[in-house]
Structure 1
Amino acid sequence: MRSSTLGSARAAPPMVEHDLEDFFENGSIGLHIVDRNGTIVRANKAELELLGYPAEEYVGRPIADFHVDADVIADVLRRLKAGERLDKYPARLRARDGSIKHVQISSSALIRDGEFVSSRCFTVDVTASREADLARLEAERRLLNTYESVTVGIADTDESGRFIRVNAAFEAITGYSRDELLEMSFQELTHPDDRAWDQDRYREQVDGRIDSYTVDKRYVRKDGRVIQVEVMSSSARGADGAFQYGVRVVKDVTERHEAARRLEESERRVRALLDALPMAVYTTDRDGRITYYNEAAAEFAGRRPELGVDLWCVTWKLYRPDGAPLPHAECPMALALKSGEELRGVEAVAERPDGARATFTPYPTLLRDADGEVVGAINVLVDISERKRAEEAQKTLIDELNHRVKNTLATVQSIAMQTQRSTPEEFPARFEERLIALSKAHDLLTRRQWSGVGLRELFEQEFAPYARGAEAAVRLQGPDVTLPARVGLAFGMVVHELATNAAKYGALSAQGGRVDLAWDVEETDGARGLALEWVESGGPPTSRPTRRGFGRRLIERNITGDLGGRVDLRFEPTGLRCSLRIPLA
């Protein structure tokens, strides 16, 4: 009797139906059930939250709709129907916001009388860990490439100073091969008169008494030539702080030392003269390092360059006259020093740290020693901003006028040709409303003196007729963006067609319907672009039209043809969804 009583006390209480229901709905891992036809018949909260769908947009749809790779879901369903169990099967799912989720699927099938009834699938989001793995591998690859590709010598050394790894630049500096260096120590490369101090500091670094140090000293190359090098020595240590290996970054500064010595004499003679000049003047050594600048140069650049460090030009950023970035290493001063030819008659644009820009003409002149060797250069920067602004204003006015007239006439012609496909009764109204839409975009641009049009302002103007009391029929979400004039005109027509379609057939034609507009500015490979999502809901059910009307053709032509962008129109049951990508250059 006692044994039976103890046994009853240890038995787990039976799991009742509401416990099972709670387990399914509130489990921390995504779970869904798919029937024999591949349709989702149930999904728990974790599954819906993972992909961002409400139940009504997820349950009842084919599971294949949410898989990025059709062959993957086809294989999953085939294997489940064959009675296989899947464990951590990798797949990619498309979330409601358009993002891609990397997941692992563990699933099994319910088989009755030898027939596949349904499958139950656990979905685990592994996006973060996958991205972390990819980032780690990429970081390791970049680190290895950087080690071998940098133009400075890098050498790893053990506690005694023997080389355990060197890069190609270090081989070039010393003249020894990699195999030869791995049999040597840094003391053997060092000039005998410079060994003691460096060796003592390295011992302090290994022992942890100092973290790092820098030394200028001499190397004796394999060919016997003595060179001047700058060595920056630091340590790699483990989590416990124990020394693992030394990292020595080595620069050959022989030429810099020689140039500095020769330039010092020259600088003394010309400094007084240069300081008195009212225009921007600066000098560099033969390698382009700035050695001197006057106050006028500092005022022009809006900054004080770091002598011996900043290269080629005193300015913060440089641009070509057409607005393209101009690397400092390709500026007229750099080209003069590299080619030995003094450039004249070129223009460039300097940007100050405060964002102000100035157009100028540089006059680089090479400095030579008694032997005719280039030891540096002097540059005079003449500010021609006022003249350029006057020229550009005149050219812009003429070009804009020509472009505006041609573009407007072409747009009106296109609207007329496309609208004439309407019935004679419909033509006047349709033609007039499209001309009015074009006129509104012109008005916005005119108010801004054709410098651009505000995106939010464009939306608010187009949707003003559809305001419905306290609850807005249109919701706008995105940063303030100013579209260039050309983009604003073409995009204004696109917005008009979408709004007109929504008002006649879509979300704005029904009480409670809504249009959600979200946009942002993306930057890919240095190019800015506008990404916009138009989502209608609450209106009549939609389906893909059997023919392409003028509105749709105008949208596609303006976005892809005129603006070089991409457009994706999806006629979903819940309403039209339109995705746009437009370059903003």
Structure 2
Amino acid sequence: MLEAPVQGEGAGVDTRDAAFVLVEMIEALSAARTIEDVASVVRTAARTVSHADGVTFVLRDGDCCYYLDELAIGPLWKGRRFPLVQCISGWAMLNGETVVIPHIYADPRIPLDLYRPTFVRSLVMTPVRPGDPVAAIGAYWARRREPTDDEVAKLQIIARATATAIANVQAYASLSESLERRQLLMRELDHRCKNTLAAVQSIADQTLRRSASPAEFVESFNGRIGALSRAHELLTRGAWGPAGLAEVVGQALTPFCAVAGLRISVSGPDLGLTPEAAVAMHMTLHELAVNATKYGALSIEGGSLDVAWKLDCDEAPTELEFQWVESGGPPVGEPRRRGFGSRLIETGVARELGGQGQMIFDPEGLQFRLRAPLSSRISRP
């Protein structure tokens, strides 16, 4: 029969006073910022106070045990995962109890195939936070021996300190993530504000150049800024994620429905637009609606508007086809000069989506047709 080693015996064991080791460990754990930092501190302290030949730090990972780190006279299981129900560390965590095994070959809970290649003959496995275990600390000896009550008690003290350290690491990670997210949101807000201000400046400049009078400038400028505001309102409701094309169309046409009522029809499949594409589409539709209300199909009784979109095929579509078709209004002729609104209609959303837009001045009614390839800016549900 193998004899148990004398207390303190074993390669690399620090014989300093255990209380001092525990104090040093707690100080080091207070500065730990990652779970790897915690494991490194704990494995060293646990091996010192238990006089073990090896120590492992095991994390609970769902239904598995993950051997995150080790400090031992020979290789154990660092970096490997085992089912909780097939591992002694899993038994300790599932039962919330410290388990002492003086002779591994005499205990049926030990998976001997995993232990035979190692130096281990005796062990103590201590769960971290027994009420709701998140980890375990294993101490191993190369000879059969019964760990003393004092050694087991010190390992349990280390486990309690480890539970606090893990909670601190999780809180630190959560705080860091919150700060990082806050900084990201601030950068995103700055970016959006600059883009919005640039858009307002461009709208003001272009509207002023094309306005025949101050009154015309005020009317056009206010209308366009209102459209931009409604587009942002829609995106804010959706946390600035993808906006449904039907929602964008509805939001853009809402101010004109009081005049046109049931003379406007809208149809098309569910599609999502990125925030930038949604704003461009909203502004384009606003310009078309203003023109239809002043000069086109919605300016007289009997005129109607059909807004529809589709994908070029159902199974493997590659392109969006969007059309605005007016009918029943005054005869349409091509204007002698194109204003800011016309250029915005033909190039704004088309450029944003990487497609092509075209205004067709059909005598029966103005048409706008847009073709754009499916991309990251146009998504299917």
**TM-score, structure 1 as length reference:** 0.32
More helix by share: 2
More strand by share: 1
**TM-score, structure 2 as length reference:** 0.48
Greater RCO (CA < 8 Å, at least 6 residues apart):
2
